[in-house]
């Protein structure tokens, strides 16, 4: 019976996507838990692989049906949530879901699964570095960058509530640290 969960949180621009890709490649026992969301897909994003993209109305309907473990309005008017069916799908494959989620979502999942969940916070070396990385990514407007930086500052204040903190200053070091934490937990 494999019913563990790994919850990873990181401010937008902290390098989480790369770290998560590397972690998934190194640990075949893990499976990425695809969240539902209402934001517009970015170029290259695939429905069912990166997110399940829903209209706000369809998302509200899922809330009504109690389909989520947790859901959150992460950015203004943009909903994100972890579907119960998604975690079950992964457990049924005898794998461990890797949930990539914001601070509140991670803490909510940890609260619901206190004995079988670890939470990991990925931190950028500094807010300046974070802003630089977001700008370099070229996918966000100036407003969106500032909203993400503001959220990152707020999220940082919750870092100590997490089981582990990984600072992504050097990608190789952070990747190894992350793999060690996860392998130590799922064996
Ligand atoms: P992005 O729009 O850059 O893909 O993601 C924005 C934020 O939404 C990230 O911080 C990500 O962790 C968070 N997020 C993604 N999926 C979920 C989810 O299912 N629940 C919650 N609460 N946050 C999520």
Say whether 31 sits in a helix, a strand or coil. strand
pLDDT at 2 over 80: no
The verdict on the CB of residue 38 being under 6 Å from ligand 1 is no
Give residue 126's pLDDT: 87
Residue position matching structure tokens 């049906």:
65
- Over the stretch 23-71, which tens digit does the pLDDT of each residue have? 999 999 999 999 999 999 999 999 999 999 999 999 999 999 999 999 9
pLDDT at 121 over 70: yes
Task: Tell me the CA–centroid distance for residue 98 and ligand 1, in Å.
Answer: 13
Enumerate residues 6+ apart whose C-beta is below 8 A from 146.
none
The CATH number of the structural domain formed by 5-186 is 3.40.50.300
**169 bridge partner residues:** none
Higher-scoring residue by pLDDT: 163, 138 = 163
What is the percent of the chain where pLDDT is above 90? 72
Among residues 178, 162, 49, the alpha carbon closest in space to that of 104 is found at 162
pLDDT at 136 over 70: yes
The verdict on the CB of residue 155 being under 6 Å from ligand 1 is no
Task: Tell me the CA–centroid distance for residue 187 and ligand 1, in Å.
Answer: 27
- Over the stretch 80-92, which tens digit does the pLDDT of each residue have? 999 999 999 999 9
The verdict on the CB of residue 105 being under 6 Å from ligand 1 is yes
Mean pLDDT of the chain: 93
Q: Quick one: which atom of ligand 1 is closest to the CA of 82?
A: 19
Q: Quick one: which atom of ligand 1 is closest to the CA of 81?
A: 19
The verdict on the CB of residue 101 being under 6 Å from ligand 1 is yes
Task: Tell me the CA–centroid distance for residue 149 and ligand 1, in Å.
Answer: 14
């Amino acid at each position: 019976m494999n019913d563990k969960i790994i919850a990873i949180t990181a401010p937008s621009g902290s390098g989480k996507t790369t770290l998560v890709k590397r972690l998934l490649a190194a640990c075949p026992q893990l499976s990425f838990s695809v969240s539902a969301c209402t934001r517009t897909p970015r170029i290259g994003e695939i429905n069912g692989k990166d997110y399940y993209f829903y209209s706000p109305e369809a998302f509200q309907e899922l809330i009504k049906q109690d389909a989520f473990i947790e859901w959150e309005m992460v950015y203004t008017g943009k909903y994100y949530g972890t579907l119960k069916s998604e975690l079950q799908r992964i457990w049924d494959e005898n794998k461990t879901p890797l949930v990539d989620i914001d601070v509140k979502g991670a803490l909510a999942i940890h609260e619901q699964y206190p004995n079988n969940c670890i939470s990991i916070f990925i931190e950028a070396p500094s807010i300046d570095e974070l802003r630089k990385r977001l700008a370099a990514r070229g996918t966000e407007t100036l407003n969106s960058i500032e909203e993400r930086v503001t959220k990152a500052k707020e999220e940082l204040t919750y870092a100590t509530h997490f089981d582990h903190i990984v600072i992504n200053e050097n990608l190789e070091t952070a990747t190894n640290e992350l793999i060690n934490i996860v392998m130590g937990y799922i064996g």
